[in-house]
Amino acid sequence: MAIRRSKKNLFLSLVMLVVLAACGGGDGGGGGDAGGEAKGELTVGVSGAFAENQIVAEMYAQVLEDAGYTVDRQLDIGSREISQTAFNNGEIDVVPEYLASLLLFLDPDATATGNASENAEKVRTALQGKNAVLLEPSGANDTNAIVVTGETAEERNLEKVSDLAPIAGELRFGGPPECPERPFCIPGLRDTYGITFREFRPLDTGPLTVAALEGGEIDVALLFSTSSVIEDKGWVLLEDDKNLQAAENITPLVRQDVVNDEVTELLNGVSEALTTENITELNARVEIDNEDPADVAQEFLEDEGLL
Amino acid sequence: MGVIGEAIQWLTDPVNWAGDGGIPHRMLEHMEISGLTVLAAALIAIPAGLAIGHSGRGRFLVVSLSNVGRAIPSFAILALALPITIKLGLGLGFWPTFFALFALAVPPILTNTYVGVAEVDRDLVEAARGMGMADGQILRRLELRLAAPVIMVGLRTAAVEVVATATLAALVAWGGLGRFIIDGFAVRDDARILGGAILVAVLAIATELVLGGVERLARPRTVSVRA
Amino acid sequence: MILAQADEPLVEPEWVMRNLDRIGERLVEHAYLTVLAVGIGLAICIPLGILAYRHRRIYPPVTWLAGFLYTIPSLALFAFLTAYTGLTTLTAEIGLVSYTLLILIRNVVAGLDSVPLDTKESARAMGYTDRQLLLKVELPLALPVILAGVRVATVTTIGLVTVTSLIGKGGLGFFILQGMRRFFNTPIVVGAVLSVLLAVSADLALLGLQKAATPWARNRARTA
């Protein structure tokens, strides 16, 4: 055999090898749950790619792993739409959700209240016939927060959200790109408070919005009530005086075909330990101190005796 | 297919043509920043390439820069530009996008300018020197004219790359056509994603064609050029 | 008021130390996604290129289609595909492979075109069949140009893999996105620098392969 041809053969065989590896390996096809019963494989996802969601998802993942499950993580899902699509396809099995927002996502005509249990029941009704189970809500309530800087609050005399109504036409509003379609964001502000801002800048669920508010590129920001940056920067969370925001307790949503008593107990255990105060502290460690969500989650679980 | 129909509906809906978030405004933003960055890159890279090509010094720099430049993922540049512009007090949106796209546009323009000049037949240069032309004159009247087509290819490559990459800039709070893709992705509005993609593709193709045309005009008719 | 990040150093060594294994995993993911994409691209483009070389008429439509795919902005393609194929490796690969097609098909055909007519004629004179001509003469002589295409395709793919972080993959791009989401410099810098190093090393390695595979072409080296 000519030397040249063997080199070319080698090259072609390498290519074949790669192709075969592709067929054999990969992630086993699009979301195929081959044998996900008992101590099988689970994927934990997020309903938004921000610190709090990732911390809680890590908590779920770690308690499940500790009990012997093999857990895959998908912690970079940008919004509920993507997350729900992935959930319905079986690409993720467990996800931390927010009660009122989930309810309105599933049933836009529903009414969400300030009562967590009520909202949870309504979600369960909306989930009937679907491959999904809502577990127990935690005590951690994270609602949308309308935030302005300390200076703006002083200058314009702002304490409550309704204070914005007369001057909204002069103000620039910034938040995640989904805001125009979220009942607790732009449509809600318009319908409940009569607020229409001069302009809306699509940013994100975190750093870009924070940077924009800080840099004066927006006047009003949509953040979250458990965001540690609000207090850290001396910003003002305007009071939701007309109760637009409802109970948004963090609750595990699990696919029917992976849920069992053990999984339920483990995840509810995490929910029991979470409160609005402690999740805000954990958020601070990730958002301000740049710690990893996984490490922060682990320490919390160990402290609470869940790991 | 249903989604293509939806995308066409989205593209032809007058609501989407109005206001700051509308198609014309985003298209304009996109073209503006692409034009600005390619222009700025050209202003730096062409003179540098000419000088290096003419004198032959600094060749190593050009080759390394072009290799490394080609290897840098545009997404990475964008992500890196953000903390830098914030540190410099330049904020989000325009400036990080500008820096990232500028960094992207320089290597192809620089490389092509350098190669274009360096490839000019040495005999011609010698002949010009023999005729008593000064260095500066040789550069302008001979080398630049002969290198023009190759430089244009560099500009064209840079421009198309910039137009395509500017879609990512929506991630650093900038506007442009990428906004339709990113925002559409966030709310799973496939029609918007596809519509945005079609718009960018159209812009990229148009850029290719227009600059390709300019390139043909730039070909000197008197002397044959080595491709 | 200064953002916490403005005072931050560009890289925090402790983060790197703590995350060495995660970095390693992502590096492997990055390389895997790249090799897979280029491999599949070649598996498609070598036979297709040979076909286009023999039957000229199919070359324009093939390059047109590949060119069209190439023009679709990567972000849009990935975002759009997730609706059908989910946040999976398959989605990432469909996109990544599509972007290699144009460069690879062009280079396969150009490589085959570059085989001197004289060489082919002598081979025929020696009684080579079509198949022997292809395997013993044309492909080996086309190899340098094909490998040049593989180099460009590989470097481009390495860059594109970072974009797949937006659909849950990403390789080293995962850190870039993570850094952006948390306004934390270190992962961005680490992700970016490692991606560049990966690309440059791949480029050099393939350049070496290109030179080794073509001892007769060493003196014809031109600037890439």
Q: Is C41 helix (H, G, I), strand (E, B) or coil?
A: helix
Pairing of the two strands A236-237 and A250-255: unpaired
Portion 28-47 of C in contact with A at CB < 8 A? 35-36, 39-40, 42-43, 46
* CA gap C113, C105 in Å, rounded: 12
Report CB contact under 8 Å: A199, B20. Answer: yes
Whether C73 contacts chain B with CB within 8 A: yes
Nearest-Å Rg of the Cα atoms of chain A is 23
Among candidate residues C197, C205, C202, the one with its CA nearest the CA of residue C23: C197
Whether B226 contacts chain C with CB within 8 A: no
Report CB contact under 8 Å: C180, B115. Answer: no
Q: What would the mean pLDDT of B31-35 be, rounded to a whole number?
A: 95
Among candidate residues B41, C51, B172, the one with its CA nearest the CA of residue A212: B172
Q: Over chain A, what is the mean pLDDT?
A: 87
Classify A290 in phi/psi space as left (phi over 0), alpha (psi -120 to 50) or beta.
left
pLDDT tens digits along B173-214: 888 999 999 999 888 888 999 999 999 989 988 998 898 888
* CA gap A283, A290 in Å, rounded: 10
The structure tokens 């001979």 sit at B142
The Cβ of residue A113 has, within 10 Å, a number of other Cβ atoms equal to 16
pLDDT at A151: 93
* CA gap C45, C101 in Å, rounded: 7
CA–chain centroid gap for A114, Å, is 20
Better-scored residue on pLDDT, B36 or B50? B36
Query: Where residue A2 falls among pLDDT bands split at 50, 70, 90?
Result: very low
DSSP per-residue letters across chain A = --HHHHHHHHHHHHHHHHHHHHHHSTTSSTT--TT-SSS-EEEEE-SSSSHHHHHHHHHHHHHHHHTT-EEEEE----SHHHHHHHHHTTS-SEEEEEHHHHHHHH-TT----S-HHHHHHHHHHHTTTSSEEE----B-B--EEEEE-HHHHHHHT--BGGGGGGGGGG-EEEE-TTGGG-TTSHHHHHHHH----SEEEE--SSHHHHHHHHTTS-SEEEEETT-HHHHHTT-EE-B-TT--S---BEEEEEETTT--HHHHHHHHHHHHH-BHHHHHHHHHHHHTT---HHHHHHHHHHHTT--
Report CB contact under 8 Å: A217, B188. Answer: no
Nearest-CA residue of chain A relative to B178? A202
Q: Indicate the burial class of A3 (C-beta count within 10 angstroms; 0-12, 13-18, 19 or more).
A: exposed
Whether C214 contacts chain A with CB within 8 A: no
pLDDT tens digits along B46-99: 998 888 887 878 888 888 888 778 788 888 888 888 888 888 888 888 999 999
Q: Is C170 helix (H, G, I), strand (E, B) or coil?
A: coil
Chain C residues whose beta carbon lies within 8 Å of the beta carbon of residue B85:
none
B-C C-beta contacts closer than 8 Å: 120
How many residues are there in chain C? 224
pLDDT at position A11 over 90: no
Report CB contact under 8 Å: C166, A286. Answer: no
Whether B182 contacts chain C with CB within 8 A: yes
* CA gap B133, B206 in Å, rounded: 40
* CA gap A265, C183 in Å, rounded: 35
pLDDT at position A39 over 90: no
**A203: phi then psi, degrees, rounded to nearest 5:** -125, -105
Among candidate residues C103, C115, C106, the one with its CA nearest the CA of residue C139: C115
Please, are residues C115 and C137 in contact by the beta-carbon 8 Å criterion? yes
Report CB contact under 8 Å: B186, A217. Answer: no
Whether A35 contacts chain C with CB within 8 A: no
* CA gap A260, B88 in Å, rounded: 53
Among candidate residues A103, A224, A62, A243, the one with its CA nearest the CA of residue A161: A243
Chain C residues whose beta carbon lies within 8 Å of the beta carbon of residue A234:
1
pLDDT tens digits along B121-155: 788 888 888 887 777 777 677 888 888 888 888 89
Chain A residues whose beta carbon lies within 8 Å of the beta carbon of residue C213:
7, 11
Residue type, A35: G
Q: Indicate the burial class of B89 (C-beta count within 10 angstroms; 0-12, 13-18, 19 or more).
A: exposed
Task: Select the residue of C5, C79, C180 nearest B185 (Cβ to Cβ).
Answer: C79
pLDDT at C7: 54
How many residues are there in chain A? 307
- The H or E element that residue B96 is part of is helix B94-118
pLDDT tens digits along C4-38: 444 566 788 888 998 999 999 999 999 999 999 99
Report CB contact under 8 Å: A74, C174. Answer: no
Residue of A76, A92, A93, A287 to mutate when probing chain C, most C C-beta within 10 A: A76
Nearest-CA residue of chain B relative to A105? B187
**ipTM confidence:** 0.79
**End-to-end Cα separation, chain B, in angstroms:** 44
Report CB contact under 8 Å: A79, B186. Answer: yes
Better-scored residue on pLDDT, A30 or A65? A65
Q: Would you state the structure tokens that stand for residue B196, as one six-digit string?
A: 């945005």
Nearest-CA residue of chain B relative to A79? B186
pLDDT tens digits along A281-301: 999 999 888 899 999 999 999
Q: Over chain B, what is the mean pLDDT?
A: 86
* CA gap C168, C171 in Å, rounded: 9
Q: What would the mean pLDDT of A154-164 be, rounded to a whole number?
A: 93
Chain B residues whose beta carbon lies within 8 Å of the beta carbon of residue A222:
none
* CA gap A301, C154 in Å, rounded: 43
Whether A217 contacts chain B with CB within 8 A: yes
* CA gap B191, A189 in Å, rounded: 26
Nearest-CA residue of chain C relative to B170? C75
Nearest-CA residue of chain B relative to C179? B79
Residue type, A76: D
pLDDT at B146: 83
Interface of B with A (CB under 8 A): 20, 86, 89, 91-93, 170, 172-173, 179, 182-183, 185-188
Nearest-CA residue of chain B relative to A85? B188
Q: Would you state the structure tokens that stand for residue C71, as one six-digit string?
A: 């023009």
* CA gap A204, A78 in Å, rounded: 9
Report CB contact under 8 Å: A207, C181. Answer: yes
Report CB contact under 8 Å: B73, C196. Answer: yes
* CA gap A42, B156 in Å, rounded: 48
pLDDT at C219: 52
**β partners of residue A253:** A95, A134
Q: Measured between alpha carbons, how far is residue A13 from residues A7, A200, C45 in Å?
A: 10, 55, 15
pLDDT at B65: 81
CA angle B25/B31/B33 to nearest 5° reads 105
Q: Would you state the structure tokens that stand for residue C96, as one six-digit string?
A: 């990544």
Chains touching chain B at 3 or more Cβ pairs under 8 angstroms?
Answer: A, C
Chain C residues whose beta carbon lies within 8 Å of the beta carbon of residue A11:
143, 213
Whether A210 contacts chain C with CB within 8 A: yes
pLDDT at A107: 92
Q: Would you state the structure tokens that stand for residue C198, as one six-digit string?
A: 């990966």
Sheet with strand A41-45: strands edge to edge: A70-74, A41-45, A94-98, A250-255, A132-134
Chain C residues whose beta carbon lies within 8 Å of the beta carbon of residue A29:
90
Residue type, B76: A
Whether A90 contacts chain B with CB within 8 A: no
Nearest-CA residue of chain C relative to B186? C79
Whether A18 contacts chain C with CB within 8 A: yes
Report CB contact under 8 Å: B185, A203. Answer: no
Chain B residues whose beta carbon lies within 8 Å of the beta carbon of residue C223:
63, 115, 118
For chain C (length 224 residues), average pLDDT per consecutive 10? Answer: 49 88 94 96 94 90 86 86 88 94 91 88 88 86 89 92 90 91 87 91 89 65 48
User: How close C59 gets to chain A, by Cα (Å)?
Assistant: 22
Nearest-Å Rg of the Cα atoms of chain B is 21
Q: Would you state the structure tokens that stand for residue A71, as one six-digit string?
A: 């857990």
Task: Select the residue of B72, B171, B196 nearest C76 (Cβ to Cβ).
Answer: B196
Up-side HSE of residue A175: CA atoms within 13 Å toward CB? 23
Please, are residues A110 and A104 in contact by the beta-carbon 8 Å criterion? yes
Query: Where residue A3 falls among pLDDT bands split at 50, 70, 90?
Result: very low
Among candidate residues A122, A113, A121, A139, the one with its CA nearest the CA of residue A243: A113
Pairing of the two strands A144-148 and A172-175: unpaired
* CA gap B142, B224 in Å, rounded: 12
Report CB contact under 8 Å: B74, C159. Answer: yes
* CA gap C103, C145 in Å, rounded: 11
Give, to the nearest 10 degrees, the angle between helix C173-182 and helix C139-163: 20
* CA gap B139, B54 in Å, rounded: 7
Chains touching chain A at 3 or more Cβ pairs under 8 angstroms?
Answer: B, C
Nearest-CA residue of chain C relative to A29? C90
* CA gap C48, A267 in Å, rounded: 53
